[in-house]
Structure 1
């Protein structure tokens, strides 16, 4: 039997999704909790791996098990064995043809920037802080160059293991929420550190170090050394995984409810 789960987590105290020896990973923590309810060893597969300190509001995973349990047992039961910084939101029995990663049509990441002269305290782990004002109009124009199919080598980590740097960006835009700036990126898939590298270059543009057209130049030159440094992980959220309707999975796009109170 194959089960799909929707989960959210606060990534600040984790080394990222993937299990690593002697380190606190989301995957190993979740595997242990699910295995307690299944009564057997379980291995979870996620839709998109997140890095150290990156959060998820709508991560999707699947696992196979011989255990017969009601869907609520995979929610309430698993949550009873999870720490407070991970929560299962929903569970569905799915066909064995479903794969959390390969069946996904798109992934959406949100990055929340806090441009303010004074660093935040309470929100320190949940926003990317920049101490200077940002020109959001220039940043918005720069993001328009990201849309479509491109080789994103300029924004690819040297540790990235993807076979190709070509990705299709369906949406790239920003929204102001008072002092906060919400950057939205929706693509078929992302490269290692791709969003954080994009944010770093957008911040440079917002600070006036480059014109908006510089983003297009970076895409064309495909050279990581010419782009800005990788930005901090604290403001990054995996916000939505999209699947075909026939899988009948919840696809509500989430936002950090502690920042934006919108219907």
Structure 2
């Protein structure tokens, strides 16, 4: 049970919304009379919540799920809807007091979004770094052509896949999650090294039929890209884009 409580506290973080959800759920269980709403919104939430905190259920889930993902059960809870619906009912019954109480709770329970170092203002409608979109549009295949293969720095892998499926990569997100069991890809090992060996990278790019290589200019490299068959075709947002002339376009690995 202690482990379950720890998972719940870690999931809640510094926020109050999971606790606000529990309060709203209790309030609605007492006041809500509509049986359809109770079944769809409340009773299902109660079942999921009880199962989450039930140690035997945790033991069963540990046998069938990936390690460290038990918290995802909480994703099934309609927290936002329950909190919002409870807030509307409170305001409906006690307009002024209810509205003031809801506003105070929301203000005290939130924080300025951009204080988080991992959140920045969106650069485009995709909510992705602009350099990713520019690079992908530059190297992506034309309509009707086969997908291309490109080696991206580890920090860019997530973004590329969110933007397009027309660019394939020799390694993906599995390399970036330490808890996942995987064999480290040789290209990934080179790309995350303190000093990137251009000659070895170009050799592996040939082996895996990668037509493009993108390098972070902040990373230290060793070797001459031109001598290894790499032609610099663009410089975008602190990244150099190289065309691997040894591999033809439309080639398959």
Q: Same fold (TM over 0.5)?
A: no
Radius of gyration: which is bigger? Answer: 2
Q: Larger relative contact order (C-alpha < 8 A, sep ≥ 6)? A: 1
TM-score computed with the length of structure 2 as normaliser: 0.25
Structure number having the greater helix percentage: 2
Structure number having the greater strand percentage: 1
TM-score computed with the length of structure 1 as normaliser: 0.24
